[in-house]
């Protein structure tokens, strides 16, 4: 430890009770107030994650639906949403519809892990299969039930109807999930709270 610390060039960057430093060989470490240190693979990523908004499963979501393909599951409010057998996409493992209104959702799961940096391109490519004129309206990273999730909002035309999609993307060693909520573009404001609550029910449950 003394050898490492002797190589450190301190940087005046403070991150939530942590300081960063760089060794002579270019490696970055995080210095904690308790005197301990650890290597930082990517300080920019650490700073970003510290600044992300966090979301948690709503207390009203009491019904759990688990994926049979990987470690993902969704908590949902069965007084607002019902699980449907009429899948809107043949790639979807399960789907939902609002009990009152014209809001829909589906979970597309697969066993292949995709780097989160590439999820945007994968997502847009898949969306264009259904809506060739798809446009990206919003993009952000969130912390959802302790996991780093990509959130996208997209709008495009499918079967002559202008749809808006609000989607969570997450991937780990067990695979990838796309949790998609959608409705007519003009109806998004009416159902956005319901969509956000369903999306925030996304969790991982190790098998």
Kindly state the helix (H) or strand (E) to which residue 80 belongs, with its residue range: none
For the chain, list the domains and their CATH numbers.
Answer: 2-51 (no CATH), 54-204 (3.40.1000.10)
Model pTM? 0.75
- What integer best gives the mean pLDDT of the chain? 82
The CA–CA distances, whole Å, from 185 to 103, 119, 145, 179, 188 equal 11, 23, 28, 18, 6
DSSP 53: -
Indicate the pLDDT class of residue 171, thresholds 50, 70 and 90. Answer: very high
Owner of token pair 């430890």 = 1
Write down the pLDDT at residue 128: 86
Residue length of the chain: 207
Task: Write the CB contacts of 36 (distance below 8 Å, at least 6 apart in sequence).
Answer: none
pLDDT digits (tens, 9 = 90+) for 104-125: 999 999 999 988 878 888 888 8
List helix spans (H) across 32-118.
43-51
């Amino acid at each position: 430890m003394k050898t490492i610390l002797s190589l450190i060039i301190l940087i005046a960057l403070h991150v939530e009770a942590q300081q960063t430093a760089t060794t002579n060989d270019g490696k970055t470490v995080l210095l904690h107030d308790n005197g301990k240190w650890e290597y930082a693979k990517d300080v920019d990523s650490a700073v970003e994650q510290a600044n992300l908004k966090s979301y948690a499963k709503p207390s009203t979501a009491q019904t759990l639906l688990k994926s049979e393909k990987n470690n993902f599951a969704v908590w949902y409010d069965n007084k607002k949403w019902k699980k449907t057998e009429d899948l809107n996409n043949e790639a979807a493992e399960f789907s939902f519809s609002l009990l009152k209104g014209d809001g829909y959702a589906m979970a597309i799961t697969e066993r292949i892990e995709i780097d989160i940096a590439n999820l945007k391109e994968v997502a847009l490519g898949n969306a264009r299969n259904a809506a060739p004129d798809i446009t990206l309206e919003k993009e952000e990273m969130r912390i959802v039930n302790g996991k780093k999730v990509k959130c996208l909002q997209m709008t495009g035309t499918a079967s002559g109807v202008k749809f808006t999609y609000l989607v969570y993307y997450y991937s780990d060693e067990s695979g990838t999930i796309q949790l998609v909520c959608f409705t007519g573009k003009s109806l998004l404001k009416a159902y956005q709270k319901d969509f956000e609550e369903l999306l925030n029910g996304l969790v991982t449950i190790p098998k």
